[in-house]
Amino acid sequence: MTDQTRRFLQEKYQVSEALLRLHDQALADIQGEIAYYDEVREYNQLKVLHAFQEERISESMFGLTTGYGYGDLGREKLDALYARVFGANAALVRPHFVNGTHAISCALFGNLRPGDTLLTVTGRPYDTLHQVIGIGGKNPAGSLKDLGIFYQEIDLLAGGLDFSAIATALEDPSIKMVHLQRSTGYSWRPSLSIATLREGIAYIKSLRSDIIVFVDNCYGEFVETLEPTQVGADLMAGSLIKNPGGSIAPTGGYIAGREDLVEHAAYRLTVPGIGGECGSTFGVTRLMFQGFFLSPLITMEAVKSAVFAARLMECAGFCVKPSSKEKRTDIIQAIRFGEKEPLIRFVKGIQYGAPVDSFVSCEPWAMPGYEDPVIMASGAFIQGSSIELSCDAPIREPYIAYLQGGITFDHARMGILTALAQVLEKQ
């Protein structure tokens, strides 16, 4: 960091010299990790470039369609591009998915029937899926449970998947789908690496080859050089305002995997018999193509930002997961504060460091789909985008903040510094 930058941070953002020294130490400590993730980015960028070339992507595919959207070549090619990059038979990439939960829900509802059982083997899923499944004391009309679809859950062990419990559970012939959540959600655990997913999927398939293995891939795309569908997953889903949208896609989600399973999911997004063959794209196709092309770069900016945050918070005495030295398989950085007030100050600090709505003071509130009040900092160009620097936290013990995103490493470091300054100045 130059002297000019240091003076600017001190004068305009009231970042102390002591905190700047922590910044310098943290940045120096993670140079090996930065070099590793740059190599991952380089490979993934080449993989995406080659797929664009193989699919013969052209400017003619960026046009606007209206009404039914029949003959939308851009829509069809975007599906083919995602399928090729992710090593899948088919994909469904649409602006009509309102979020990742919607894409995941279409995958579940499209492929489960009354009397079937969904088994999750990575513990309680992310909060927004609770009402979709019908767990957590709420069972709204139209949930899986309401439709007669059953649910079982297996917690992770300290070392990973509980293979013994999985083997016992799969003796139940009603289990049709096994759900694995790659990212942590609002929990204090490691995210699942591709190696872990490969091992788990192979074990499940060795017991029951008929099982549909579904992976919630949110926050995980392009963090490693392979995706779940390249190591045996039958189906996966994610959000375009996370990694694969490259901070440019204005909305949307994707489902990728086995062709028949993707088709069934498409029937839930639209209607049976039409599926993915209809749906105008409103002129956003170019942004979705361009975002996908940029996603290896943008994802790695977010990963490097998370590694920096981990090391900076470690230097400041906080407990983090993953540590700054652990290999990443998603973009999320969990930071445990132990108390409510410093947690809230940190999240507010992330908002103060944002390029958009930096003047807004975020507060905990009852967000739709969540069981506890949630505070969320998201001063983003795309509303709710978590590939941009953002932070959210349920207001419950042990008061953990979940930091993610950063479309430039420079901005993320500055935003994280302002957030930590908000915490330290009150101690």
Per-residue pLDDT tens over the stretch 99-112? 999 999 999 999 99
Q: In angstroms, how far is CA 257 from the centroid of its own chain?
A: 18
Half-sphere exposure of 231 (CA within 13 A, CB side): 20
Indicate the residue among 282, 313, 341 that finishes a domain: 282
Q: Which value, in Å, is the radius of gyration of the alpha carbons in the chain?
A: 21
Q: Do both 170 and 308 map to the same domain?
A: no
Q: Do both 129 and 248 map to the same domain?
A: yes
Q: Do both 137 and 236 map to the same domain?
A: yes
221 has pLDDT over 80: yes
Looking at residue 276, its amino acid is: G
For 47, the token pair is 């993989």
Domain count, the chain: 2
Tens-digit pLDDT profile for residues 258-296: 999 999 999 999 999 999 999 999 999 999 999 999 999
What single DSSP character describes residue 299? H
Distance, CA of 112 to CA of 110 (rounded, Å): 6
Q: Do both 193 and 327 map to the same domain?
A: no
114 has pLDDT over 70: yes
Q: Do both 16 and 77 map to the same domain?
A: no
Indicate whether 154 belongs to any domain.
Answer: yes
Indicate whether 327 belongs to any domain.
Answer: yes
Q: Do both 128 and 184 map to the same domain?
A: yes
Q: How many CB atoms lie within 10 A of CB 384?
A: 15
pLDDT at 1: 86
pLDDT at 142: 94
Q: What is the CATH number of the domain that holds 331?
A: 3.90.1150.60
Cα–Cα distances in angstroms (integers) from residue 416 to residues 23, 110, 121, 309, 419, in the given order: 10, 41, 33, 7, 5
Nearby residues of 349 by Cβ (< 8 Å), 6 or more positions away: 377, 415, 418, 419, 420, 421, 422, 423
Q: Do both 248 and 303 map to the same domain?
A: no
The H or E element containing residue 280 is none
Q: Do both 79 and 38 map to the same domain?
A: no
Indicate whether 401 belongs to any domain.
Answer: yes
Q: How many CB atoms lie within 10 A of CB 263?
A: 17
Strand partners, 257: 90, 235
Q: Do both 119 and 260 map to the same domain?
A: yes
Q: Do both 212 and 83 map to the same domain?
A: yes
Q: What is the CATH number of the domain that holds 244?
A: 3.40.640.10
What single DSSP character describes residue 96? T
According to DSSP, the β-strands at 390-394 and 374-377 are antiparallel
Indicate whether 287 belongs to any domain.
Answer: no
Indicate the residue among 221, 256, 282 that finishes a domain: 282
Contact present, 285 and 78 (Cβ < 8 Å): yes
Indicate whether 288 belongs to any domain.
Answer: no
404-422 average pLDDT score: 96
Nearby residues of 271 by Cβ (< 8 Å), 6 or more positions away: none
Indicate whether 414 belongs to any domain.
Answer: yes
Q: How confident is the model at residue 368 (pLDDT cuts 50, 70, 90)?
A: confident
pLDDT at 346: 97
- 373 φ/ψ angles, rounded to the nearest 5 degrees: -55, 145
427 has pLDDT over 70: no
Indicate whether 323 belongs to any domain.
Answer: yes
Tens-digit pLDDT profile for residues 126-158: 989 999 999 987 789 999 999 999 999 999 998
Distance, CA of 86 to CA of 360 (rounded, Å): 38
Indicate whether 73 belongs to any domain.
Answer: yes
Q: Do both 225 and 84 map to the same domain?
A: yes
35-55 average pLDDT score: 98
123 lies in which domain range? 48-282
Contact present, 333 and 324 (Cβ < 8 Å): no
- 175 φ/ψ angles, rounded to the nearest 5 degrees: -70, 120
369 has pLDDT over 90: no
CA-based nearest residue to 306, from 409, 216, 234, 381: 409
For 89, the token pair is 């038979």
Q: Do both 21 and 104 map to the same domain?
A: no
Indicate the residue among 282, 302, 321 that finishes a domain: 282
